[in-house]
Amino acid sequence: VYAVSDLHTDYRENLQWIVQLSTKLHQRDTLIVAGDVSDNLETFKDTMRLLKERFHRVFFVPGNHDLWCRGKENKHLDSLGKLRELNAICESLCIDTKPGKVCGVWIVPLLSWYHQAISFTFDKERDIVGYNIPPPEKACYPLFHWFQYFRCTDYHACKWPDELKTPDIALAAYFDDLNSCNQQCLTEIRHSTERVITFSHFLPRPELCPEKRMLFYPNLPKVIGSDFLERRLRSIHGSSGNSGALHVFGHTHFSWDATVDGIRYLQAPLAYPRERRRRVYGGECWLPLCIYDSEGTLLPRPMPCYWSDYYRLNKRDPDNVVLAPWVADLYCLQKS
């Protein structure tokens, strides 16, 4: 079983990376795609078709980019309609969007969305104050070109029914409830003795992201995760986890491998070409990442990842609001 997230094949370089994957090497393998393929339906379909040609089975859960409604092909859709379109494409290509068992391991996609607007209950760290750091819905400064396309555009490109536009946890709760249609299967999984791998696009815990003071955009934790998601996956793996519990996620583009309260959390993003060029462990040479092999063994832990390695050696300090030097240089102090 292999995993990857944040393919972003709107970038030609990323699409070419998929084209160059072997059409023979993985014919008996399974791939988990943890969201953010493309906001363009045709590009999405082409990408998933290429992946299905290369892997025996492909499991998918949508990310925020996948539900953007931009361009002529999306003008008659809202984001829930877009979700239905994505599911229809996946069904036509025989791509799994529901839980399934592969060679003795259950793979469970979990739909989710982040807590947003005034609720921000997922974000439990102290805010950085005194600097001109824009809120997520206004973070479109040229300085944050990567953030503009990665986060803030959600507030403009996603189109929701009126009842889901409220600035609270409505969207996060709605998406979590969509998993209830698999309740019978999930009940079977809970009583199974077989290994279970869950995956989502968004983060189930705030500890899976660097502290605000370390981030180029310190408000990033306000748009990354859901407490509903953590409760959902704990209901599957057990409240205390177990030695084989694994959850794959995406969204933040930080490679990550950490065990928290008995569950191993792992992110293996392809991300944007410019991010791969500057990050410590690259990505093109080790992705997609094999997380479970034919011997029934999970990926040896821990995988080398810059930030999760950092937090293995350094305790988190969520009350520390002193910006790291590389962040402080980007912002001006607000006038009192």
- A 10 A CB-CB count for 259 gives 17
Q: Is the pLDDT of residue 198 over 60?
A: yes
pLDDT of residue 152: 66
User: Tokens at residue 106, please?
Assistant: 């259950």
User: What is the structure's pLDDT at 313?
Assistant: 95
Asked whether the predicted pLDDT for residue 166 surpasses 80, the reply is no
Q: Return the pLDDT at 137.
A: 66
What are the angstrom distances between the C-alpha of 326 and each of 46, 67, 224, 281? Answer: 39, 33, 22, 20
Mean predicted confidence (pLDDT) in 153-178? 87
Please answer whether residues 96 and 58 qualify as being in contact, where contact means their C-beta atoms are separated by less than 8 angstroms. Answer: yes
Concatenating the DSSP letter of every residue in 262-300 gives: TEEEEE-B---HHHHHHSTT-STTT-SEE-B-TTS-BPP
| Range scoring the smallest mean pLDDT among 52-61, 76-85, 146-155, 298-307 | 146-155
DSSP string, 90-127: HHHTT-B-S-EEETTEEEEE-------TTT-TT--SPP
Q: What pLDDT sits at residue 167?
A: 66
pLDDT at 284: 63
Residue 124: pLDDT over 60: yes
CATH assignment, 2-332: 3.60.21
Q: How many whole angstroms separate alpha carbon 101 and alpha carbon 193? A: 12
SS3 letters for 293-335?
Answer: CCCCCECCCCCCCHHHHHHHHCCCCCCCCCCCHHHHCCCCECC
Token pair belonging to 41? 């339906």
- At 73 the pLDDT is 66
Looking at the DSSP bridge assignments, the partners of residue 131 are: 333
Q: What is the pLDDT of residues 313-328, one digit of tens each?
A: 999 998 999 999 988 8
User: Using CA atoms, how far apart are residues 60 and 223, in angstroms rounded to an integer?
Assistant: 21
Give the pLDDT confidence score for residue 149 in this predicted structure. 42
Distance between CA atoms of 99 and 75, rounded to whole angstroms?
A: 31
User: Are 299 and 268 a contacting pair, CB within 8 Å?
Assistant: no
